[in-house]
């Protein structure tokens, strides 16, 4: 049951960088306990609520998700231990030591490798040259465990590579993977709900998620004195490259673009996760589900969060399914390979991989896009320039 309907009423006020402050009753907060139960009527009602949220508001909160609060708290504590570790320890698992994109990605102030070259693979978008903007978040990135003798890794798949682990923190690997597995179980429930809402075969997603590069990011936004504006975002506006994301956040800052293409603040709700649709579900449904653009504004205050991005298997082909293509809604998306779409943007964001490509040390067979074809722009995209000059709060 939902504790609030997704209505299109006026915002209560204006928030950071012109975003709407919506009342909690206007953002769907969905109790998903029924997805685990045997009550068919309650399950159908929950699936309908999830579907309406994906088709209208574009994002929603979930309660009674089944992940123990103690496990969430412990994972935050492990994230803090990692990000508070001495830099020389974190350097041991720097992402540049990964054959892909696993490990520590520092804030830009801590990421001086002595090489000023950016090793661009494509010309930057004039609206967002994020390679030159300060990176105000650090991350520890991990995914499913991949062995050194894994055939996909040995074949050069950049999305299926071994994790790096901070072995100086006792229990980190085992406990973080326990959290990863718990949230993946929630994701499996949502995949089933999406399949039911869309009239797909119950096994549609299960058959396409046998070995996924679904990534968990342990994010840290350190305190800073930079301004709150479009040049100093915690994370710039983007949609997620996978099917959907389940996010737990420890503080305000997240803003999500709703189905009306307006920025809306999405504050944390105790006991709830935030879910947003990603590119692949938008492509498969020919826009019925909309990939939710989101960003993190710079509040200047320290913040931690933990998103888990739910991918499908690398070689899965994504294009509008026939049942979502009509004369009134013709196919709007080209055919993509799920892993290539993810890899293109992941590689473009990783300097050590760009450097290898430019130097001819790494060959890739997937495209690098200048801009995500799923990108949308908010209608309230910073209409008041004066607001951009507000000091960080």
pLDDT of residue 4: 46
pLDDT of residue 392: 34
pLDDT in tens, 318-369: 999 999 999 999 999 999 999 999 999 999 999 999 999 999 999 999 999 8
pLDDT of residue 377: 59
Give 161's pLDDT tier (boundaries 50, 70, 90): very high
Among 1-5, 257-261, 302-306, 367-371, the range with the most confident prediction by mean pLDDT is 302-306
Is-contact 255 263, C-beta < 8 A?
Answer: yes
pLDDT of residue 390: 39
pLDDT of residue 56: 83
Give 231's pLDDT tier (boundaries 50, 70, 90): low
Beta strand ranges found along the chain (DSSP E): 13-14, 20-21, 29-31, 59-63, 103-105, 138-142, 215-221, 235-238, 244-249, 254-257, 263-265, 273-277, 294-296, 303-310, 317-318, 336-337
Task: Please choose, from the candidates 94, 36, 50, 116, the residue with its C-alpha nearest in 3D space to the C-alpha of residue 275.
Answer: 50
Alpha helices in the chain (DSSP H): 40-55, 69-83, 87-90, 151-154, 172-197, 279-284, 338-348, 351-358, 385-388
pLDDT of residue 105: 97
pLDDT of residue 134: 80
pLDDT of residue 24: 44
Torsion 66-54-371-250 (CA) sign:
negative
pLDDT at 6 over 70: no
Entry pTM: 0.89
Average pLDDT over residues 134-154: 95
Q: Which of 37-51, 73-87, 124-138, 199-213 has the lowest mean pLDDT?
A: 124-138
**Mean pLDDT across the chain:** 88
């Amino acid at each position: 049951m939902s504790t609030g309907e997704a209505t299109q009423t006026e915002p209560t006020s204006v928030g950071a960088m012109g975003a709407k402050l919506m009342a909690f009753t206007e953002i769907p907060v969905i109790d998903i306990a029924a997805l685990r139960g045997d009550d068919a009527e309650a399950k159908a009602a929950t699936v309908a609520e999830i579907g309406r949220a994906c088709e209208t508001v574009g994002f929603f909160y979930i309660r009674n998700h089944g992940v123990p609060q103690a496990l969430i708290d412990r994972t935050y504590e492990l994230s803090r231990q990692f990000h508070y570790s001495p830099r020389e320890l974190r350097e041991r698992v720097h992402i540049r030591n990964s054959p892909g994109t696993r490990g520590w990605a520092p804030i830009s102030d801590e990421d001086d490798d002595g090489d000023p070259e950016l090793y661009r693979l494509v010309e930057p978008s004039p609206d967002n040259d994020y390679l030159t903007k300060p990176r105000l978040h650090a991350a520890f990135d991990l995914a499913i465990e991949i062995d050194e003798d894994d055939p996909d890794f040995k074949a050069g798949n950049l999305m299926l590579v071994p994790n790096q682990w901070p072995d100086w923190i006792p229990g980190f690997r085992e406990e973080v993977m326990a959290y990863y597995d718990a949230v993946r179980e929630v994701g499996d429930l949502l995949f089933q709900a999406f399949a039911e809402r869309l009239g797909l075969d119950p096994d549609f997603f299960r058959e396409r998620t046998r070995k996924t590069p679904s990534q968990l990011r342990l994010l840290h936004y350190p305190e800073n004195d930079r301004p709150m504006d479009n040049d100093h975002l915690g994370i710039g506006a983007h949609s997620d490259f996978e099917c959907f994301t389940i996010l737990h956040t420890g503080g305000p800052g997240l803003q999500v673009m709703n189905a009306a293409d307006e920025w809306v603040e999405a504050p944390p709700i105790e006991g709830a996760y935030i879910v947003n649709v990603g590119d692949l579900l938008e492509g498969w449904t020919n826009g019925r589900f909309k990939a939710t653009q989101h960003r993190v504004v710079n509040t200047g205050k320290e913040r931690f969060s933990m998103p888990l991005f739910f991918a499908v298997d690398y070689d899965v082909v994504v294009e509008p399914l026939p049942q979502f293509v009509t004369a009134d809604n013709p196919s709007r998306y080209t055919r993509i390979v799920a892993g290539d779409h993810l890899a293109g943007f992941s590689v473009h964001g990783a300097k050590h991989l760009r450097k290898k490509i430019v130097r001819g040390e790494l060959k890739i067979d997937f495209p690098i896009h200048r801009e995500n074809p799923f990108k949308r722009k908010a209608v309230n995209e910073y209409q008041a320039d004066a607001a951009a000059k507000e000091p960080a709060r």
